[in-house]
Amino acid sequence: MAPRNKIPLLRIGVLIIVGLAVIKFAYKSRPTHTIVASLRIEEKSAKESKDNFFWGKAGEPQENSDKRELPPEPPNEMNAPVDENLPLKKKGVAKDFSGIQLRLVHLDLKGAAPKVSYLEQIFPLLSKMGANGLLIEYEDMFPYSGELEILKSPYAYSKEDIEKILHLAEINKLEVVPLVQTFGHMEYVLKHENYRSLREVEQYPNSINPHRAETMPLVKKILGQVLELHPMASFVHIGADEVFHLGEGQDSKTWLNSNNGDLGKMFLAHVKELLNFLHSHYPDKYALMWDDMLRKLSVENIKGKYDHYSVLCELLPVALPSLVVCLRAIQHGPLTEESKTEINQILGFSKMDLKKNICDGNGAFPGAEIYRMVRIINDDLKKKVREIMEGDSEIRAWFSRYHRKHRFGNPHKMETFRDKVLKTHEEWETLTDSLRVQLETIYFPDTVEEWMEENVNLHLDALRKMAKDFKEILELKAQPKAVLKK
């Protein structure tokens, strides 16, 4: 009897094993990406987070909300009329990313966008160090056309440039993921007078008003033009991070007052309509988005150009060593002495000190000359100028601001520190002129001018003025100071 009793148990065991195998196979057949936005976003998740500051409490009314006609609910995408001007998706070969970990390098082009010729130099390096994809955030560097042409920078890439970037990425085995901001970080759109009325809060150009009838057609046109030039892309990133001031506009306050103050539901409604649009027009593309608004956490500052109103924060050649170290660590784990040696050989450095953020040697990577000169400027320019302007006792005694203002000085004393003033000025002018030449090979004129103004001229102008005054006062041959007029 014992063997007979075991037969049903064995059958059950076999069924369980088969079932698990089927589930595992079905799971593996789908791409697994931690930041892929599901097309079936469950709005109930907002209700489950009742005590969170972002989502708000259920039943919590919004203060200072005037009673107005409510903005309409977003139309059902399946029933909404399709814009005939939207480009038809070009069919591409579907790629299987199951089991592949994408290591993307984020190219944020809203500031200090490099020329295509420099991208051609660094793509092989990125690929060699383990990157297998590029997250390209074009913003105003994209060649928008038609009514969107106002969005593009005077130095925007051409369509031919985009084609070349995609070709360069392909031959270096880098998957290109276009990033299109669709909710927050919309300064590149909302700074223009044509679209000022679409701001969530009239004073701030950061976030778009999700309730205005013109908002969704505009965002879809932007997405459509970008994706038209990326027909082979398997992914599209819709941004949706740092939607500052969301819920502060009058339309949003009115909506929230009638929807239990559920800010999360309002956020998801906008995102969901975008995902439905992508699903219906570009069904073979996976949608990605940042997760900070979903996680409901405070957003930390990151480097880069924060928006279109901030100054430049970094240059790609200067950031390359750090990027290479990060790629190496992501791919192989903690850095060993052996891996540091490998990185030094690739970058052309003799030594690397991660704690001090120092790389010794001239470097042998694309843009290494810029890295070297920027490091000198960062380490020494401000310090050297201050030493001359404030730290030298003879200069303070015989060539102070008072002497320069009233145009007098003792030539005998001035000759003792001539070299310190004039030679130092000449050396820095030579270095910065060389830097400008190098920058112009990689960047467009607006980027070069902005970086030089913020990082060089800010300090060097004072030394330039001192050198000019020195020469002019020396030519006066010790004339007495001018008598102040009463």
Identify the active-site residue in 77, 137, 242, 273: 242
- The single-letter code of the amino acid at 452 is M
Query: How would you list the strands of the sheet with 104-108, edge to edge?
Result: 104-108, 133-137, 175-179, 235-237, 286-288
How is 150-185 classified by DSSP, letter by letter?
GGS-TTPPPHHHHHHHHHHHHHTT-EEEEE---SSS
Distances (CA, A) of 325 to 68, 136, 343, 471: 55, 20, 7, 48
Whose CA is closest to 265, among 54, 85, 19? Answer: 54
The H or E element spanning position 373 is helix 368-376
SS3 label, residue 34? coil
Q: ∠ at Cα 38 (103, 78), nearest 5°?
A: 130
**Structure tokens, 394:** 């003879």
How is 281-323 classified by DSSP, letter by letter?
H-TT-EEE--SHHHHT-PPPP-SS--STTSPP---HHHHHHHH
Identify whether the C-beta of residue 246 lies closer than 8 Å to the C-beta of residue 252. yes
Whose CA is closest to 422, among 486, 357, 469? Answer: 469
242 is catalytic: yes
Whose CA is closest to 438, among 376, 383, 381? Answer: 376
Q: Give the residue numbers annotated as catalytic, written as ranges.
A: 242
